[in-house]
Amino acid sequence: MKLSNRIRSITGDGSDGWDILYRSRTMIESGTPVVELTIGEHDARTDQRIIDIMYESARAGNTGYAAVPGQYKLRSTIAARVQSQTGVSTTADNVIVTTGGQAALFAAHLALLDEGDTGLFIDPYYATYPGGIRSIGSKAIPVPTNAENNFQPLRADLEPLAKQAKSLLINSPNNPTGVVYTRKTLKMICDVCLENDVILVSDEVYDTQIWEGEHISPRSLKGMADNCFVIGSMSKSHAMTGWRIGWIIGPKDAIGRILNLSTVNTYGVPGFIQDAATFALTQGSTLETEVANVFRTRLQLARDILTGEQNIRLIPAQGAMYLMLDIRATGLSGDAFASQLLEAEHIAVMPGESFGESAAGHIRVAMTIPNEDFTRALKRLIAFAKTKIG
């Protein structure tokens, strides 16, 4: 079967970045225990109250086709949440519900880019970002950052690339680094976008997981409400990863056009799932804080363990459920370190190289196993690193 160039080019010339995860799963299937610190999957599952609402909705007959843009009540609830957070007027007409944040990212870029156009994204990046841009036939170009500047992007790196681009994708709090962009950084990004007619796509799925600083949505900055798509999701904030429910916030006319895509693509999200999401969001910050505090606690455990370590440096973790560890003192690449750690200790972490060249020599550790197990695994990881120092 001859496949399209578009489908064959999604991963570019390399892998999709998930090699270590696949290897660890193969080991587990063969009977070898592995401590998985790879993907952002909560060890505590969805709150039972949310599950009960979903069940009650389905039992009541809400199992037919749902409104394709999303049920009005859910869109209004999302809009109210966003308006409260940003101070920017937001209505249900500014919201479209999608099958998760990943589908939202795809739809946003399909709305912005034509074949051959350039879409930028900040490096380090979530592993699917470049593939999502390539999948619509556009060119995916990374904007480099560096560990010495705590992975905050700089104008000198962004501006030359922006002159040839139509979109820019950012993620703060950032996966994989845990960095939260400062107001100064975000203003710079917005200024460059406005000056170069670049539309900003802001992936804010970790907005409830802030450990230091503040979450600032660029949509709240001057001139950006009509020059920005905001991506949201229930996955991280409410431990609803498998429910596949997210959204895009944007100008009303643009959201209307994206509705046409949903009509010919997913044809909406099941109504019983939307009812559960509406209930979850109407619980306010209480439930979100409960979910987030699990990772806040583990971050403090990690800081206590890593304090004074010379072989591994923790990139300041300001948000999200991950640790980005600088392991360059071992002399190993992130790929080599993660591969050897998996073989020697049966601990699976993600190589920094899975998230771009800027993260080379680093590893990402997901804080997604119980506290005692997490503490033991981190201490074993540190001990392993010490064996690699010449």
pLDDT digits (tens, 9 = 90+) for 266-282: 999 999 999 999 999 99
Angle, alpha carbons 185-258-57 (nearest 5°)? 100
Inter-axis angle of helices 100-112 and 252-264, to 10 degrees? 110
**Beta-strand relationship, 118-122 and 95-98:** unpaired
CA distances from 120 to 115, 141, 360 (A): 14, 5, 19
By the 8 A CB rule, do 341 and 384 touch? yes
User: Cα(58)–Cα(342) distance, rounded to whole angstroms?
Assistant: 43
9-13, 236-240, 250-254, 360-364: which range is least confident on average? 9-13
Average pLDDT over residues 172-195: 97
What percent of the residues of the chain are helix, what percent strand, and what percent coil, each to the nearest 5?
A: 45, 15, 40
Q: Which of 125, 123, 38 has the alpha carbon at shortest distance from 338?
A: 38
Report, at the CATH architecture level, how domain 5-45+286-386 is classified. Answer: Alpha-Beta Complex (3.90)
Q: What is the greatest pairwise CA distance in the chain?
A: 66
Answer whether residue 16 shows pLDDT above 70. Answer: no
pLDDT score at 79: 98
pLDDT score at 350: 96
DSSP state of 331: T
What number does CATH give the domain 64-283?
Answer: 3.40.640.10
The pLDDT tens digits of the residues spanning 252-264 come to 999 999 999 999 9
- For the chain, domain boundaries: 5-45+286-386, 64-283
By the 8 A CB rule, do 128 and 102 touch? yes
